Structure 1
Amino acid sequence: MRIDLHTHSDRSDGTDSPTELVENAARAGLDVVALTDHDATVGWDEAQAAADRVGVRLVKGLEISTQLQGKSVHLLGYEVDPTHGPLLAELQRVLDGRDNRLPLILERLGALGIEVTAEDVARWSGNAAASGRPHVADALVEKGVVANRDEAFDTLLKPGRPAYVDRYAAPLHEAVRLVREAGGVAVVAHPWSRGSDRVMTPDAVAELAGLGLAGLEVDHNDHDEDQRARLRALAADLDLAVTGSSDYHGTGKIGFPLGCHTTDPEQLERLLPGVLA
């Protein structure tokens, strides 16, 4: 059984519609796929209809933008109640932060002599719950400023680059609590990618486990073999589930194909008992 627990559609910064994502998951030989758009659940119904049609088991999830000690950390929440008021309020605050910083990013690009309008970005954000940096990157590609999203981030949009603007992210400990209160299961996404290992220390992970964190996403393209081995050992020490996934974004992230990393069925059963029944 092949299980991929981290993917994105065009309801956030992926390029597939929820239907296309599920259809592509079936073509990739996946039996189970989780849709985990950033800070939003708006693609769930469409994805479920497609999953029912093609015979793939859908796990409904989201990836919450959080921060710990000023460092970005992403939290996967699976099978939360999408009507849970406190969680919805926090997600809306995150989404508003994305939208509200867009004019500031465009202003900084303009100061660099790069003219991109909100309308240019909107052509790429389309059905997304909010306009984010990946959509700005797509507009920059369209205008020939950069070759792809990676170049846009590396030269202009990531922290420390001239067009970067910070935004609100939920406190990590609070996000774990909200996911649990909403009836869901919390797993830290790629916990040691992009320098997050500086704050996601073994002691920090142990504290999160005490608050109800259920697992770590260990097998991910952003982790090298040594990191995976050490994260696997840490998960074992803390009795946390271990997951693996693609972090698929369609054509929005090259080299992250569906099913490039997968989750053992026993680990999924630990996280979501009965999900495979």
Structure 2
Amino acid sequence: MRIDLHTHSTASDGTDTPAELVRNASAAGLDVVALTDHDTTRGHAEALAALPSGLTLVTGAELSCRLDGVGLHMLAYLFDPEEPELARERELVRDDRVPRAKTMIGKLRDLGVDVTWEQVARIAGDGSVGRPHIAEALVELGVVPTVSDAFTPEWLADGGRAYAEKHELDPFDAIRLVKAAGGVTVLAHPAAVKRGQVVPEDAIAALAAAGLDGVEVDHMDHAPETRTRLRGLAADLGLLVTGSSDYHGSRKTCVLGEFTTDPEIYGEITRRATGAFPVPGAGGRPAA
């Protein structure tokens, strides 16, 4: 059983539509895929309508959080998307994305980069605009060779020359809100140091004490020795260990199913959830 619990679609900063994503997940031999767009559940309905037979969809979102000035991401699974307090917080984060992007574009222009809001908006399409869209604009302009190369202190990394803050959840609040909505929380790629500063292990311990369910260990941005260290930390803290691709379509080099989650861990996640439940595919609509 192959389970990938972290993917993105055009509802945020991926390049596959939600329907394309579930079809591609099925073609990649996955049995379970989670759709975890940034701060939004907008892609779930399309993914469910297109869900192929043999593939199960886990609904979720990747919540933008900040702790002591350090950005981090919280994967939230199987929560009730209509729960009002969590829905309101997701909306606040999404609403702040456009002014934040425009601020970053202004900083880039001050640095001599001829990027425009119109260019970034075109790249984002109907998705929630974010740094990867600005990064892709930098690639189009020949400023950097790849999207990943834009996430450095020189450009868009946390604290970088063109970085701008946005509304983000306190991760302790995020855990509380997701739990109240019947969901399960997993800290995404907690040691991805090439993305910028990461939270220390004592912060992860505090989050575990506050109800964090798990930690994403097997991820493309974690070196083998980092994965080993995180596995030991998770065992010490009683946290579930997950693995996933963090798939963004053609925007990143990772592929669906590059890392996967153990079926027993997946089973425990589904047992803990009360806000929503995994949906098995019923065939979906045919590809256009």
Pair in the same fold by TM > 0.5: yes
Per-residue deviation, 1:218: 0.9
Can you list the C-alpha shifts for 1:26-85, whole angstroms capped at 9, x where unaligned?
11110000000011100001111222x343100001100111111111100001111111
Instruction: Choose between structure 1 and 2: higher helix proportion.
Output: 1
Aligned to 2:93, the other structure's residue is in SS state helix
Per-residue deviation, 1:141: 2.3
* Aligned counterpart in structure 2 of residue 259 of structure 1, from 257, 270, 278: 257
Partner amino acid for 1:5? L
Structure 1 gap segments, 5+ residues each? none
Aligned to 2:36, the other structure's residue is in SS state strand
Q: Is the 8 A contact 1:217 1:244 kept in 2?
A: yes
1:17 and 1:49 mapped to 2: Cα distance?
Answer: 12
2:220 and 2:55 mapped to 1: Cα distance?
Answer: 24
Residue 173 of structure 2 corresponds to 174
Q: Is the 8 A contact 2:71 2:198 kept in 1?
A: no
Per-residue deviation, 1:198: 5.2
Per-residue deviation, 1:165: 1.5
Partner amino acid for 2:205? A
* Aligned counterpart in structure 2 of residue 132 of structure 1, from 130, 133, 139: 130
* Aligned counterpart in structure 1 of residue 146 of structure 2, from 141, 148, 151: 148
Listed as ranges, the matches of 1:203-242 within 5 Å are 203-242=202-241
Distance 1:97 1:266, change over 3 A: same
Listed as ranges, the matches of 1:116-131 within 5 Å are 116-128=115-127, 130-131=128-129
Distance 1:151 1:223, change over 3 A: closer
1:243 and 1:147 mapped to 2: Cα distance?
Answer: 31
Distance 1:227 1:197, change over 3 A: farther
With the length of structure 1 as denominator, give the TM-score of the two structures.
0.92
Distance 1:232 1:19, change over 3 A: same
Q: Is the 8 A contact 1:220 1:244 kept in 2?
A: yes
Per-residue deviation, 1:23: 0.9
Residue 199 of structure 2 corresponds to 199
Listed as ranges, the matches of 1:31-50 within 5 Å are 31-50=31-50
Structure 2 gap segments, 5+ residues each? 272-276, 281-288
Q: Is the 8 A contact 1:98 1:167 kept in 2?
A: yes
1:207 and 1:16 mapped to 2: Cα distance?
Answer: 36
Per-residue deviation, 1:200: 3.5
Q: Is the 8 A contact 1:22 1:47 kept in 2?
A: yes
Residue 58 of structure 2 corresponds to 59
2:125 and 2:44 mapped to 1: Cα distance?
Answer: 17
Partner amino acid for 1:56? L
1:193 and 1:263 mapped to 2: Cα distance?
Answer: 18
Per-residue deviation, 1:276: 9.1
- Identity percentage of aligned residues: 51
Aligned to 1:116, the other structure's residue is in SS state coil
Partner amino acid for 2:143? V
2:41 and 2:71 mapped to 1: Cα distance?
Answer: 21
1:267 and 1:124 mapped to 2: Cα distance?
Answer: 36
Distance 1:143 1:248, change over 3 A: same
Q: Is the 8 A contact 1:269 1:275 kept in 2?
A: no
1:104 and 1:210 mapped to 2: Cα distance?
Answer: 36
- Aligned-residue Cα RMSD (Å) equals 1.9
Partner amino acid for 2:5? L
Residue 6 of structure 1 corresponds to 6
- Residues matched between the structures, number: 273
2:133 and 2:268 mapped to 1: Cα distance?
Answer: 36
Aligned to 1:252, the other structure's residue is in SS state coil
Per-residue deviation, 1:145: 3.0
Q: Is the 8 A contact 1:104 1:165 kept in 2?
A: yes
Distance 1:276 1:262, change over 3 A: farther
Aligned to 1:108, the other structure's residue is in SS state helix
1:160 and 1:125 mapped to 2: Cα distance?
Answer: 23
Q: Is the 8 A contact 1:75 1:189 kept in 2?
A: yes
Can you list the C-alpha shifts for 1:228-249, whole angstroms capped at 9, x where unaligned?
1222122222222111000011
Residue 243 of structure 1 corresponds to 242
Q: Is the 8 A contact 1:65 1:75 kept in 2?
A: yes
Residue 286 of structure 2 corresponds to none
Per-residue deviation, 1:275: 5.0
Can you list the C-alpha shifts for 1:94-146, whole angstroms capped at 9, x where unaligned?
11222111221121122122222221111111121x21111112222223333
